[in-house]
Amino acid sequence: MVKEKKVRHLLGISGGKDSAALAIYMRDKEPDMEYFFADTGAELPETLAFVDLMEDYLGKEITRLNAGRDFDYYLKLNGNFLPTARSRWCTTNLKLKPFEEFVGDDPVISYVAIRADEAYREGYVSTKSNISAVYPFKEDGLNKDDIVKILDESGLGMPKYYDWRSRSGCYFCFYQRKVEWMGLHENHPELFEKARQFELYHKNKGRNHTWSENESLDEMLMRKDEIKAQALIKEQNTLKKPKKLMDSLLDDDSDDGCMICFK
């Protein structure tokens, strides 16, 4: 008789607040939980430090995926064309494929950190029939405030990059706002410079590629004060307005983009 494979319980840590809170929330509920982190090789230092902290807190290994195959490897494979929102080979190669390889043919329950106040989202759901997704926050009615409380009460708090950036993910992520690029420049000038070199490489090849729409990093830097002032005004206006559905949809950490990277 063929023995049935044991169901694996998997929870991906992205370096963002929601997946961290879910790991804390589930720690004592599912003793067989396996944690993983798909490291793109272009993570912020704050993210890596936070994942190490999480590992200590959880008392279990967080398996690092992608070892030996980082962003630079896939950049070469893609003819040195940088990823964009329309051509997101980065997510496919650095997040989805390593996850599906990690799963293999095992029956898996994947724990997804979508909150109850994000009922309109589904997150990444694999098309592989052996993976089924569950949404504990949605099912238990936990929203953004609850997630912040879980992190505070654990003693871990929010990842440090939240001081200047609203999401985890690669330092050069094309989804980040202009003001976040300015934050990268202030907090990690060497990473900003690396991102700038990618743009210059394209420029020298006669191609016009900018990480942020219609504006190079050099152009952005020239109007740094203006970008910061505009972001401040926007933030103040958002605080004044009562929240409508549209405001929630546009909430700082809630735009789509890369659910598997930012959760």
The residue within the footprint of ligand SF4, chosen from 15, 83, 98, 159 (CB under 6 A), is 83
> Is residue 169 close enough to count as binding ligand SF4 by CB under 6 A?
yes
**Do 88 and 80 contact (CB within 8 A), yes or no?**
no
- How many residues sit close enough to ligand SF4 to count as binding (CB under 6 A)? 13
Taking the C-alpha atoms of residue 59 and residue 41, their distance in angstroms, rounded to an integer, is: 24
- Unique residue bearing structure tokens 């329950």: 109
In whole angstroms, the minimum distance from the beta carbon of 47 to ligand SF4 comes to: 10
In whole angstroms, the minimum distance from the beta carbon of 155 to ligand SF4 comes to: 27
Contact map string, positions 125 to 164, toward ligand SF4, x by CB under 6 A: ----------------------------------------
> Is residue 65 close enough to count as binding ligand SF4 by CB under 6 A?
no
> Is residue 82 close enough to count as binding ligand SF4 by CB under 6 A?
no
In whole angstroms, the minimum distance from the beta carbon of 167 to ligand SF4 comes to: 8
Q: Which region among 25-33, 101-109, 167-175, 243-251 touches ligand SF4 (by CB under 6 A)?
A: 167-175
Q: Per the structure block, which two tokens stand in for 254?
A: 């809630």
Binding residues for ligand SF4 restricted to 241-260, rule: CB under 6 A = 258
| Residue closer to ligand SF4 (CB basis): 65 or 261 | 261
* HEC profile of the chain: CCCCCCCEEEEECCCCHHHHHHHHHHCCCCCCEEEEEECCCCECHHHHHHHHHHHHHHCCCEEEECCCCCHHHHHHHCCCCCCCCCCCHHHHHHHHHHHHHHHCCCCEEEECCCCHHHCCCCCCCCCCCCEEEECHHHHHCCCHHHHHHHHHHHCCCCCHHHHCCCCCCECCCCCCCHHHHHHHHHHCHHHHHHHHHHHHHHHHCCCCCCCECCECHHHHHHCHHHHHHHHHHHHHHHHHCCCCHHHHHCCCCCCCCCHHHHC
Beta partners for residue 103, in sequence order: none
> Is residue 15 close enough to count as binding ligand SF4 by CB under 6 A?
no
The residue within the footprint of ligand SF4, chosen from 82, 94, 114, 227 (CB under 6 A), is 94
> Is residue 184 close enough to count as binding ligand SF4 by CB under 6 A?
no
The residue within the footprint of ligand SF4, chosen from 24, 75, 259, 261 (CB under 6 A), is 261
| Residue closer to ligand SF4 (CB basis): 83 or 98 | 83
| Residue closer to ligand SF4 (CB basis): 25 or 175 | 175
* CA angle, residues 71, 124, 143, in degrees to nearest 5: 115
> Is residue 173 close enough to count as binding ligand SF4 by CB under 6 A?
yes
Q: Nearest to ligand SF4 by Cβ — which residue?
A: 169
Q: Where along the sequence are the contacts to ligand SF4 (CB under 6 A)?
A: 40, 83, 88, 90-91, 94-95, 169-170, 173, 175, 258, 261
